[in-house]
Amino acid sequence: MNRVRLVWLLAGFAILSGCASSREYHCPDPIGTIVRDECESFATRYESAKVALQAGIGPAQVGATFSEEALRSPTELIQVMSQRMVALCHDFNACRLTPADYLARREEMDRTMTAITALGEQLKRPDLPPAEREQMLTKLFDMLGGPPPRRTAPAAGNNAVRTPPEPEKPKKIAIYSDEPWFDSRLRPPVAPPVKEGFPRLVSPWGHGTLDHIWVPKSPDQPHDMKLGGFQVRPHLTLWGKLEADDRIELRFDDGFKTRCPVKRNTDGVAGVYCPLPKDRPWTGRNFAYRVAYYRAATDDWAEIGREQWTVAPSVEKSWAIDYDEHLGQGWLYFFPEPPALPAQFERPRLYVTLRLRKHHKATARCSVGGEPVTPAMQSERGSGQTGTLQDRPRYREVSPHSSQAVAEPFLEWWHYVFALPFVVVRAGATAPEGLAVWPPKTGEWVCRVSVEGTPVRELHFTVKPDGSLEPAPGQRGQAGDLVHPWWKVDTRVLPNSVEANRENP
């Protein structure tokens, strides 16, 4: 019977993986044409897996085998995997991953979920010997990427045998450009915690996700729905020590508050998602809240920062996140080269945002004192679409009885990443072939970004002898300053005919 159920579950996963609705989309080179995935189907799939696993593995079974230092239950780790898969899907749909990269990472997660399901079915067996159950739980934690659980202490006695722990082998861990990395040797100064022991809110970080909220047209017609507003998903990025019994409270300007648990122990960078009640749609131009953090260890609250999104209505009465404020924000940051930890080298990268009607290829070139220090650099992996907004109608009336399709009715914000041909050498290594040691020159740098030969941005910054930058105002490590792993640089928007003019602002 168990084998039949296992085959049925695995077949169900294969169907869910393959039947997501999709549509073609033309991404810029080198990505090319993709078939967009339906990301919410992955959340449904992982939720089903969590429920199935929960039926066979209760917290008591984990606690009976491992101590509390295991930190997180398998079902909570599946939730983390679900969030990673949905984020991976959104990155692919936004042209941040090649189809080959996306397929490889998705298949890896699929194989892991298949193995997890098989283990869950075996763990349901009431006749499973304790030693085998312990071995399977250990394997389950390993597949989920959780912390290595420790055995509970053996009973006291002269005959107690303690097995020495196996030495951990160093592993290379992939790191992606959408993850904040604070371990750079040339990281900018960051603001101190608002209170001793509290984590810091990393802001601004990432690209928001806006959900439309549907409400009944009238109390008498609860099933007849209309578009009532929106919500921006509160995905918070925190840096510091978090504990599973800590809490977060979002405090909106209108007095509304909502809380969510942290759920896990972390020392470093962590993401926390705080879902909002679906019966509270927003309709204004600003979606903002203050973030308060509760430390259970000290029974204390503190406001650690503020998140704010600008939202614009489209011409078709829906909403979209407005990224115009990003146009004048440029960054320089250092990231592992190759993108894996522990880092062997660090490579400086430039980041800018443009507003277009369709994607264009862009290049960047840097100089010091008028002398070129880089060749023309093309945008590379990490570039992608930030967001879109429909500011033109799809059709315009040309006569009383006919209409005509409007070309390019959407504004598109695109972020471009340019890797400079230099590296920061770590651990006594020598620079890879084709890359020089950073910094090649100190002083005033000017990096100009062009689209098909037309200059659109200039980034100005000062490089010091140690390779770090002269920090901008608001990024000097003082209270209230930015908590961000990237250097904010003076960014000038140059008059040009390439970027899109905005209609119906």
How do residues 130-150 score in pLDDT, each as one tens digit? Answer: 777 777 777 766 665 544 444
For residue 200, tell me if it sits in a domain: no
Please, what is the Cα angle at 207 between 416 and 240, to 5 degrees?
110
Q: Note whether 244 and 106 are same-domain residues.
A: no
Count the Cβ atoms, other than its own, within 10 Å of residue 21.
9
- Pairwise CA distance, residues 503 & 390, whole Å: 9
Tokens of 218: 């009238």
Cβ partners under 8 Å of residue 363, min gap 6: 376, 377, 378, 379, 418, 449, 450
Which of residues 149, 179, 194 is at a domain's end?
A: 149
* For range 325-350, the mean pLDDT: 95
For residue 98, tell me if it sits in a domain: yes
What pLDDT is attached to residue 74?
A: 55
Count of domains forming the chain: 3
Q: Note whether 67 and 129 are same-domain residues.
A: yes
Q: Note whether 16 and 29 are same-domain residues.
A: yes
Of 92-106, 227-241, 278-292, where does mean pLDDT reach its minimum?
A: 92-106
User: Considering only CA atoms, which of 125, 134, 179 is closest in space to residue 154?
Assistant: 134
Q: Note whether 97 and 220 are same-domain residues.
A: no
Q: Note whether 454 and 338 are same-domain residues.
A: yes
Please compute, for residue 260, the number of CA atoms within 13 A of its CA located in the half-sphere on the CB side.
15
Cβ partners under 8 Å of residue 9, min gap 6: 52, 117, 121
The yes-or-no verdict on residue 112 having pLDDT over 80 is: no
For residue 175, tell me if it sits in a domain: no
Give the containing element (helix H, strand E) for 272. strand 266-273
Phi, psi of 437 (to 5 degrees): -80, 135
For residue 190, tell me if it sits in a domain: no
Q: Note whether 236 and 352 are same-domain residues.
A: no
For residue 97, tell me if it sits in a domain: yes
For residue 202, tell me if it sits in a domain: no
- Pairwise CA distance, residues 207 & 182, whole Å: 19
Q: Band of the pLDDT at 17, cuts 50, 70, 90?
A: very low
Q: Note whether 295 and 343 are same-domain residues.
A: no
What pLDDT is attached to residue 58?
A: 52
Which of residues 122, 149, 176 is at a domain's end?
A: 149
How do residues 426-445 score in pLDDT, each as one tens digit? Answer: 877 788 888 999 999 999 99
Q: Note whether 286 and 354 are same-domain residues.
A: no
Q: Give the domain CATH number at 214.
A: 2.60.40
User: Considering only CA atoms, which of 223, 257, 228, 266 is closest in space to residue 80?
Assistant: 266
The yes-or-no verdict on residue 367 having pLDDT over 70 is: yes
Q: Note whether 428 and 337 are same-domain residues.
A: yes
Q: Note whether 331 and 314 are same-domain residues.
A: no
Q: Note whether 368 and 291 are same-domain residues.
A: no
- Pairwise CA distance, residues 96 & 90, whole Å: 9
Give the containing element (helix H, strand E) for 481. none
What pLDDT is attached to residue 79?
A: 67
Written as one string, the DSSP assignment of 295-360 is ETTTTEEEEEEEEEEEEEE-TTS-EEE--GGGTT-EEEEEEEESSEES-SEEEEEEEEEEEESS--
What pLDDT is attached to residue 142?
A: 65
- Pairwise CA distance, residues 328 & 351, whole Å: 11
Q: Band of the pLDDT at 12, cuts 50, 70, 90?
A: very low
Q: Contact at 8 Å (CB) between 422 and 435?
A: yes
Q: Note whether 236 and 385 are same-domain residues.
A: no
What pLDDT is attached to residue 55?
A: 56
Tell me which residue range forms the domain holding 242.
208-321
Which of residues 300, 321, 342 is at a domain's end?
A: 321
**Arithmetic mean of pLDDT over the chain:** 83
How do residues 157-188 score in pLDDT, each as one tens digit? Answer: 555 455 555 555 557 788 888 889 999 999 99
For residue 292, tell me if it sits in a domain: yes
What pLDDT is attached to residue 210?
A: 92
Q: Band of the pLDDT at 504, cuts 50, 70, 90?
A: confident
For residue 13, tell me if it sits in a domain: yes
How do residues 52-106 score in pLDDT, each as one tens digit? Answer: 565 555 544 444 443 333 334 555 556 667 777 777 888 888 887 888 888 888 8
